[in-house]
């Protein structure tokens, strides 16, 4: 089990890094004006802004338990953490960070973070072993999205919903493919909606 630093302090990395790409969540929204989307820095109030998500912060009812969960499932790496006056641990997931703070608060039912992995099978097996698969929030735990994207939904020890994204249903083992449920079988999709892609180019 990794050594948790309750309120900050450096520790050597104890797990491998995993690939993590930014993955905006999907929602029922008006069609996107494709002509309005621009790659690169955007202007806001006369100032050029170049932005990306730096980190996501979620609660942990038991910091050690939550750290162990993310190290076990995703190979998260413990990194130096400042002292905030209460238990906090920063974790590295590729170039992005996940910050865990120990507070007894209730997570939302559908608020979630999305984490991309190269291979979802070991994450699935670990989540299954921990009884962490979530079948309620989005109607099923393993969903196929337009663009051949597989989404696995799990709950961490504090009850936070986590979406694990994996490209390519044909890369799944047969038993996982048999559990996969296409989104369009539950919710009819227009041509525009079927053209949606979770990852933006550029």
Going from the N-terminus, what domains does the chain have, and what CATH number goes with each? Answer: 53-194 (3.10.180.10)
Instruction: Give the orientation angle of helix 121-129 with respect to helix 63-74, to 10 degrees.
Output: 140
Q: Are 76 and 11 in contact (CB under 8 A)?
A: no
> In whole angstroms, what is the distance from residue 79 CA to residue 115 CA?
18
Q: Are 66 and 74 in contact (CB under 8 A)?
A: no
Record the tokens describing residue 198, joined without a space: 């979770």
Whether residue 20 has pLDDT greater than 80: no
User: What is the model's pTM?
Assistant: 0.76
Q: Where does the pLDDT of residue 50 fall: very low under 50, low under 70, confident under 90, or very high at 90 and above?
A: confident
Mean pLDDT for 2-26 is 41
> In whole angstroms, what is the distance from residue 184 CA to residue 189 CA?
6
158-167 confidence digits (pLDDT tens): 999 999 999 9
List the end-to-end C-alpha distance of the chain, in Å, as a whole number: 38
């Amino acid at each position: 089990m990794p050594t948790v630093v309750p309120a900050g302090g450096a520790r050597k990395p104890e797990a491998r890094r995993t690939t993590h790409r930014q993955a905006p969540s999907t929602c029922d929204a008006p069609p996107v004006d494709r002509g309005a989307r621009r790659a690169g820095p955007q202007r806001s109030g006369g100032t050029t802004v170049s932005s990306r998500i730096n980190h996501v912060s979620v609660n942990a009812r038991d910091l050690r338990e939550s750290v162990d969960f993310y190290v076990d499932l995703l190979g998260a790496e413990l990194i130096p953490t400042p002292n905030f006056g209460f238990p906090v641990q920063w974790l590295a997931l590729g170039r992005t960070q996940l910050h865990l703070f120990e507070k007894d608060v209730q997570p939302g039912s559908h608020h979630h973070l999305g984490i991309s992995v190269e291979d979802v099978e070991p994450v699935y097996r670990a989540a299954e072993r921990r009884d962490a698969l979530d079948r309620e929030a989005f109607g099923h735990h393993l969903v196929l999205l337009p663009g051949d994207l597989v989404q696995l939904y799990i709950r961490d020890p504090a009850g936070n919903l986590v979406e694990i994204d994996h490209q390519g249903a044909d890369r799944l083992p047969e038993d996982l493919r048999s559990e996969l449920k296409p989104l369009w079988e539950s919710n009819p999709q227009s041509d525009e909606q079927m053209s949606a892609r979770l990852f933006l180019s550029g």
